[in-house]
A and B are shown apart, each in its own frame.
Chain A
């Protein structure tokens, strides 16, 4: 899925630690660690990836760990190796068997609120 020279994409390799705020127009694929805020169209946290801070995106796919805040406006998928804790906002959710979730879940529903 992730080619090496795509425009508007961020790839964080395993072992890499980034701190700060990141705005990614397209795909953010995280195998390393991010501390801070990240917003992207699509966020993929690989099994070795960790994000501590705020994550926002349309489609979020988690095989690693996300701590603190997560907001997915379209779809949120937590795979069996995924761990999420903190405040979670989503409009469509899937959790595979084995996935961890700890915290407050909120549904983003523009038609109701």
Chain B
């Protein structure tokens, strides 16, 4: 009879924290559920064709530029589309250029399309330039 008791408290402990699988993690379980999943990709922000923007753009998500931007852009993912034009500073994790960019570019992954034009100082980690892309300026690999 008594030999069956010791396992019971263990089982009770496991029921207390429904969020974690193992008992050792149970200490931290109260913090996470308060914030809803932080890495949800929101819809892209779009600067459409014909739209002219002057100023600073900051985004945690995706930014598609088909219009014209003068100023500073900071975003996680930036796409400068065929009709897109950017003049100024451009910071992004992942950057795809199909249009025209003049200014300093700082990114991790840079992809330059075949009809793109880029002029400025470019600092990057990974680069891919498709045939025909025109790039001038200083290249710095991080």
Binding site for B on A (CB under 8 A): 75, 77, 92-107
Contact = CB atoms under 8 A, between A and B. Distances in A.
A96 B131 contact: no
Interface of B: 126-141
A103 B135 CA distance: 12
B132 A92 contact: yes
Contacts of B126: 97-98
A100 B124 CA distance: 10
13 contacts: A77-B131, A93-B133, A94-B129, A94-B133, A95-B127, A95-B128, A95-B129, A96-B128, A101-B141, A105-B138, A106-B136, A107-B134, A107-B136
At the interface, is chain A mostly helix, strand, loop or mixed? strand
Contacts of B134: 93, 107
Given A75-B131, A103-B139, 16 more contacts: A77-B131, A92-B132, A93-B131, A93-B133, A94-B131, A94-B132, A94-B133, A97-B126, A100-B141, A102-B140, A102-B141, A104-B138, A104-B139, A105-B139, A106-B136, A107-B136
B136 A101 contact: no
A63 to B, nearest CB: 16
Given A95-B127, A97-B126, A98-B126, A103 B132 contact: no
B138 A103 contact: yes
B45 to A, nearest CB: 27
Can you list the 8 inter-chain pairs with the closest CB atoms, starting with the nearest? A95-B129, A94-B131, A97-B128, A101-B139, A102-B141, A107-B136, A105-B136, A104-B138
A101 B136 CA distance: 12
Contact of A93 (B135, B137, B140, B141): B135
A21 B131 CA distance: 30
A97 B129 CA distance: 8
Contact of A105 (B128, B132, B137): B137
B52 to A, nearest CB: 26
Nearest to A89: B136
